[in-house]
Structure 1
Amino acid sequence: MKKQLLGVAVIGLTLVLAACGDDSTASGSEEAEQTVTIGYFPNLNHAPAMIAKEKNIYEDHLGDDVNVDYQTFPDGSEFMTALAAGEIEGGLVGPGPAMNNYISGVDVEMIAASSTGGTVIVSRDGSNIQTAQDIDSDTFISPRVGCTHDVQFETYMKDLGVTSERTGGTMNHVTGKPAQYTTMFENNDVDVATAPEPWGSVLESKKNANVVIDSDDISFGETLPAAVFVTSSELSDNDPELVQSLIDAHQESIDYTNDHTDEAIDMTINAIDDITGQKLERDVMESAWERIDFESDINANTIQAFGDSSYDLQFLKEQPDFSDLVNKQFID
């Protein structure tokens, strides 16, 4: 059963009409062009989107009669709002926001993965937190409540018997943009950060942060896509050729990212600088790169298990059924 967007018009391609002249020149006006907008974040998990933009990979696959625009987001909530409103046709987002919005009735499909890994839990220097077992009545930060990194961390901590105040536990939870974590560590506003790379490595390098849980050890760290390519079922049903072109471009960008590591690192550093105003040092990015695997395959069973954990943590109000959330026809 396809989830349909409630109360929002069907998502379609935005048409940008060529300027029309007066009656004497109207017959010579250009045909309308499609505009496809791709969304992504300034996180390392989203590097394939940054590479694709720099190398014009989407433009090459979509052809000369399609304009390609790009829009960046600070978190999954704003990305999903844009997808629901038809402001973007698709792009990269964490699986958590996609699941949450699917449950709420938003028309969204996961059609490929982008990367795995990249979530690292670090503690502030001076917090006296060296291991996860040291965390109790402390303040942790994530980009959003119930985002992918939040669920990974809280799942791990729940297995240790520690939960957040939201569910009657002791940990205090605040939210903020990952690019601002360094300031919050400086001001002693938080003790622990659920940091998507490269921001975990930034905190390690610049603020002497301690790695409490590494990306391979965090819950779902080796199996869960840290970023997924999503679109609407309306678009994949009505224009599968367009969606196939998007995924072919996405796959090419992943291949390029894996095959040209040095160049990809430089392009990602420059892209993050353009978006956030923070120029990351190359050794920091190289460290962060070691925690990421770029791949397009997506496992529906892992997505369901992650959703079940989100429900157990009370991020979801009902037991989820994600059997129709993952659509692998474009990567199979």
Structure 2
Amino acid sequence: MSSRTIRALAFATAAVLASTALAACGSDEETPAAAGSGTAEAETIRLGYFPNITHAPALVGVNKGFFTEALGSTKLEEKTFNAGPAAIEALFSGAIDATYIGPNPAINGWSESKGQALKIVAGSTSGGAGLVVKEGINTPADLKGKKIATPQLGNTQDVALRAWLKQNGLNADKQGGGDVSVLPQDNATALQAFAQGAIDGAWVPEPNLSRLILESKGKLLVDEKTLWPNGEFVTTHLIVSQEFLKKYPGTVKKLIQGHVKSVKFIETSNAEAQAAANAQIEKLSGKALKPEILASAFKNLKFTHDPIASSLYTSAKNAESVDLLDPVDLKGIYDLTLLNEVLKAEGQSAVSDAAA
């Protein structure tokens, strides 16, 4: 994570402490209820997510009305983001109450707030990331002297690339030097740079992975699934402000109910779910994904309410190993109580927050 982001997060942490004190006094937008009742609900919940296919449970849940239906009288306010740090800053400042987000921004947020700002309450997406390169690159050794893009310094894919390079005896510093020049840049820039030959590859999430392959004739050198037990690792999960969770567990439970329904809909009505997700992307960004890109991306992703907790702990260790994260104790980052209550009611198995 860049020093600029760290400073922003530190500032935001102070801001959330102040806003927490104010929130304790109540507001016109919330329905006061006895603390600890377990069913207290807010008048409004502000939910963040990205206009990206890796956030399909959010896209589908909003588009099909699953959240609105589950929340009942609680109003849903949507807020969209393009990067994890921005979503974390919004959560810290009290601008949102919950958000879909990748693992590394959540880890960073937990670390910067000293475990006070957030809880992971459900899984969302697994898989759908990897290293796409141009022809002629066939082994890790072939990457020496090459330029490889990632979405952002310290983001989930950036950490994955740097850890993989290190495991294969290659180094890359934060300034773009070393055996491999890692160049953090937004996905649109990376797609264009790869098509023009300005970079040699990119470690990216869907749908950009499929776009690099199908539109620019890239080659998949590393499918990140192959690096994880059972081919599963967390790409996106759902986090909630600790303050909001404490005050309004009833609302959070209903949000999770909508989320679980969305995941189930994707599993049972995949074609309709793809159309709903794409329609929401078009509504938010003004441009839908091409049918072949959409189908390829969905095929490469697994949507699940299981947070795949063990992969989060490994991701943190990977970030530490490449000097992008100070050692952090993640004990307590999960609260899956409400999710498991919802799953039990649905006749589904409980999920775990175990590190292994």
Same fold (TM over 0.5): yes
Aligned-partner Cα distance in 1 for 2:95–2:154: 23
- Residue of structure 2 in register with 1:27 after alignment: none
Q: Deviations over 1:213-232 (max 9, x none)?
A: 11422457833210010011
**Deviations for 1:163-206, whole angstroms, at most 9, x for unmatched residues?**
21229732222223324432122333322211111111111111
Match of 2:305 in 1: 296
In the alignment, structure 2 segments of 5+ residues that lack a partner are: 1-11, 31-41, 341-356
TM-score computed with the length of structure 1 as normaliser: 0.86
State the one-letter code of the partner of 1:217.
T
Q: Distance in 2 between matches of 1:303 and 1:280?
A: 29
Distance 1:73 1:131, change over 3 A: farther
The 4+ residue runs of structure 1 with deviation greater than 4 A are 11-17, 218-221
Deviating more after overlay: 113-122 vs 211-220? 211-220
After superposition, give the CA deviation of every residue in 1:53-112 in whole Å (9 maximum; x if it has no partner): 111111111113x22121211111111111111111112100100101211116011111
Give the AA of the match of 1:34.
Answer: E
* CA RMSD, Structure 1 to Structure 2 (Å): 2.3
Counterpart pick for 1:162 among 170, 175, 199: 170
Q: Does 1:270 align with 2:270?
A: no
Q: Percent identity?
A: 24
Counterparts of 1:141 and 1:220, CA distance in 2: 26
Residue in structure 1 matched with residue 84 of structure 2 by the alignment? 76
Distance 1:221 1:200 in 2: 21
Aligned position for 1:181: 190
* Whole-angstrom CA distance in 2 between matches of 1:131 and 1:201: 20
CA distance in structure 2 between the partners assigned to 1:44 and 1:14 by the alignment: 35
For structure 1, the 5+ residue unaligned runs are 18-32
TM-score (norm 2): 0.80
Could you give the per-residue CA deviations for residues 218-259 of structure 1, whole angstroms, max 9, x where no partner exists? Answer: 457833210010011112222111111111111111111111
Output the CA distance in 2 between the equivalents of 1:205 and 1:82: 35
**In 1, Cα distance between equivalents of 2:110 and 2:309:** 14
Higher helix share: 2
Distance 2:134 2:276 in 1: 29
CA distance in 2, matches of 1:211, 1:194: 10
Partner of 1:100: 108
**Bigger mean CA deviation after superposition, 275-284 or 261-270:** 275-284
Report what 1:284 is aligned to. Answer: 293
Contact 1:142 1:194 in 2 (8 A): yes
Question: Bigger shift: 237-246 or 212-221?
Answer: 212-221
Instruction: Report the equivalent of 2:236.
Output: 227
- The counterpart of 2:150, out of the listed 122, 126, 142, is 142
1:238 corresponds to: 247
Q: Which one of 110, 134, 137 corresponds to residue 129 of structure 1?
A: 137
Give the distance between the partners of 2:179 and 2:139, measured in 1 at CA.
17
